[in-house]
Amino acid sequence: MDKNPIALAKIMAENEALLQSNRELKAHNKELSLFNYVASHDLQEPLRKMHTFVKMIADDKDNHISGDSAIYIERILVSASRMQRLIEDLLHYSHVDTLHENGYELSDINIIVQDALTDFNETIKNTRAKVTVTTLPNIKLIPPLVYQVIHNLIGNALKYRNKDEQPILRISYELANREEIAPIEGKHEHADYYKIIIADNGIGFLQEQSELIFEPFQRLHSKDKYEGTGIGLAICKKIMTRHKGYITAQSNPGRGTKFNLYFPV
């Protein structure tokens, strides 16, 4: 063993730094657990009661609520529902790294996509959206989590559609190599990736905002015009990171958006 005092001091300092990092990580995990408990119990329960009681007042015909009072009650209900969705999304975001720990399995992406599309049957019918899905590969993944990614992206494509055009949604697949993902920040541990592409002809956004959209609470459009919590795409990115994959976006205002999902081969 090296008896050099300088080398020993360096090793001791590195060990202490590692121990400190572990202590900080434990403290962070404890705080996260406390947040999850508070969010799932102390916040949601009074919120549910408030929504229930206000709705009972609004539905009671004997109260004869009208005019400004009816408007205020409706605003309370909308705000309570929005807060409920926000809490649920925050909980989902915080749980992504621990959900379905043993859930990886070779899965047919075609089935996951069709299940997600089924949830939007009514919207697709009402908007007369044209949906095209090519044959997709089998990939080793966690089905419930990837379903959430696909569901979020399909939902965004239908939500942020051009009102004056027939919505067009294309879901396709191709192979990508390490050179294609080289510009993406992160470790590129694999030589090849399955690339699932979800493209639409919606309202789009500026390309320079294509990384910002994956940060929590970043919204490019007014919440009064488009419902949402601003966490959906952040959840998608976290899920893809857990799969040692990536998600990117390409877009132009008024010319649609293309999301690329990269899964290791």
| Claim to verify: residue 112 and residue 79 sit in the same structural domain | no
The pLDDT confidence band at residue 175, using thresholds 50, 70 and 90, is very high
**Domain end residue (candidates: 95, 130, 164):** 95
**Structure tokens given for 260:** 């690329």
* Whether residue 209 sits in one domain with residue 129: yes
186 pLDDT above the threshold of 80: no
The answer on pLDDT for 249 being more than 60 is: yes
Separation of alpha carbons 211 and 65, rounded Å:
46
- For 35-39, 68-72, 202-206, which range has the lowest pLDDT when averaged over its residues? 35-39
Measured between alpha carbons, how far apart are the two ends of the chain, in Å? 43
* 252 vs 185: which has the higher pLDDT: 252
Mean pLDDT of the chain: 85
Phi and psi torsions of 186, nearest 5°: 130, 175
Residue finishing a domain among 95, 129, 151:
95
Please tell me whether residue 25 adopts helix, strand or coil conformation.
helix
Same domain, 113 and 198: yes
> Does pLDDT of 223 surpass 80?
no
Residue 261's DSSP bridge partners are 196, 247
Domain count within the chain: 2
Supply the pLDDT for residue 225.
67
Residues 55 and 128 in one domain: no
Residues 204, 220: Cα–Cα separation, whole Å: 10
Task: Tell me if 100 is assigned to some domain.
Answer: no
Q: For residue 249, give the nearest of 230, 227, 234 by alpha carbon.
A: 234
Length of the chain: 265
Residue 2: the pLDDT is: 54
Q: Which residues contact 43 (CB under 8 A, 6 or more apart)?
A: 87
- Residue 250 confidence (pLDDT): 94
Any domain includes 86:
yes
pLDDT at position 36, please?
64
Same domain? For 211 and 248 the reply is yes
Better-predicted residue by pLDDT, 158 or 91: 158
One domain for residues 15 and 56: yes
Same domain for 129 and 64: no
Q: What is the pLDDT of residue 100?
A: 67
Quick one: 142 and 67 in the same domain?
no
Last residue of a domain, one of 52, 75, 95: 95
pLDDT value at position 236?
94
Nearest to 142 by CA among 231, 233, 236, 239: 239
Asked if residue 246 and residue 187 are part of one domain, the reply reads yes
Pairing of strands 130-133, 168-177: parallel
| Residue in the structure block whose two tokens are 């925050």 | 90
CA dihedral in degrees (175, 232, 170, 226; nearest 10)? -160
1 domain-assigned? no
Mean pLDDT of the 43-48 span: 78
* Residue-level pLDDT at 228: 66
Q: What's 220's domain CATH number?
A: 3.30.565.10
90/263: higher pLDDT: 263
Cross-strand partners of 140: 106
Residue 183 burial by Cβ neighbours in a 10 Å radius (0-12, 13-18, 19+): exposed
Between 104-108, 177-181, 220-224, 227-231, the lowest mean confidence (pLDDT) is in: 220-224
Structural domain of 233: 105-264
